[in-house]
Copies of this chain bind each other. A is one copy, B any other.
Amino acid sequence: MDSEFKKQELNVTGEGYLPGLAIDAVIFGFHENELKVLLLTYKNTGFFALPGGFIYENEDVNEAARRVLFHRTGLKDIFLEQFYTFGDKSRHDVEPLKTIMGARGFIPKDDHWLLGRFVSIGYYALVDFTKVNPAPDSISDSCDWFNLTDLPNLMQDHGNIISKALDTLRLDLDHKLIGFNLLPEIFTMGDLQSLYETILNKKLIRAAFQRKMLSMGVLERVAKKWTGGAHKAPYLYKFVSEKKA
């Protein structure tokens, strides 16, 4: 049982946290040509939710987001970006939470701090699927990858949050070099293209894609060549952050 758990259970008033404010993290991964999202599962409730957390009184909001990300994935120095703050009053829906807490044997009073209205700051993260160690938080039973194309019913407005995160990812992909954050350190041009195709949900022209990517001067060919198919071996690449002018 991790320390987060005790804090949440004991801290009946939510003391130490900024009141009414939460963080939700849409953690994207990529594996076997599928975009994936990390979700928490609450056994025997049928509920699924985004990993999230609260902000300590003397902590930057961005810091808190990093902390949440680290606890769910074991990763630091990850691409993480705030994309929207969800503040509709219609978000406020206590029933799922009551059910979840009930399933854990904890019946909260109606004025329990977790049952109040929360404004939630949404972050999205791009992680290397192979490096993640998904870990549930105190009130969830597991933390697993789900295909974006086959999501379960999500708590509250979490489906909407994911959808907005995906919109932002697609826009950002067009004018920032962020896709490689979803790949292992070393990858082929084919890997990169199918990543882009999966995110954008459309076929790209192979020759043009390769030409474009190489023209940006941020890919470095690695000596070693990939092997494993009955055909010419593709080059292996890694990203170099600084463009050489």
A165 nearest CB across to chain B (Å): 15
Interface assignment of A89: CB less than 8 Å from any CB of chain B: yes
As a 0/1 sequence over residues 147 to 190 of chain A, the CB contacts with chain B under 8 angstroms (1 = contact) are 00000000000000000000000010001000000000000000
Would A61 and B82 be within 8 Å (CB), given that A21-B119, A117-B18 are in contact?
A: no
CA distance A121 to B21 in the complex (A): 12
Q: Which residues of B contact A20 (CB under 8 A)?
A: 18-21
Q: Is A8 an interface residue (CB 8 A)?
A: no
Q: Does A88 sit within 8 A of B, measured CB to CB?
A: yes
CB distance from A89 to the nearest CB of B (A): 5
Size class of the contact patch on chain A? 20 to 34
**Chain A interface mostly helix, strand, loop or mixed?**
mixed
In the complex the two chains form, is A119's CB within 8 Å of B87's CB? no
A57 & B19 in contact (Cβ 8 Å cutoff): no
Q: A84: which B residues are within 8 A, CB to CB?
A: 82
Verify B89–A59 contact, CB threshold 8 A: yes
This chain's copy number in the assembly: 2
Give the residue name and chain of the B residue nearest to A86 (CB).
Answer: B61
Contacts of A121 in B (CB 8 A): 85, 87, 119
CB-contact partner of A58 in B18, B61, B62, B89, under 8 A: B89
Contact of A60 with B by CB under 8 A: yes
Task: Tell me if B82 and A60 are in contact (CB < 8 A).
Answer: no
A199 to chain B, nearest CB (A): 17
A-B pairs with lowest CB-CB distance, top 10: A61-B87, A85-B85, A60-B88, A19-B19, A85-B121, A18-B20, A60-B89, A58-B89, A19-B20, A21-B119
Show 22 A/B contacts (Cβ-Cβ < 8 Å), sorted by A. Answer: A18-B20, A18-B117, A18-B119, A19-B20, A20-B20, A21-B119, A55-B87, A55-B119, A57-B117, A58-B89, A59-B89, A60-B88, A60-B89, A61-B88, A61-B119, A62-B87, A62-B88, A64-B87, A82-B84, A85-B85, A87-B121, A171-B175
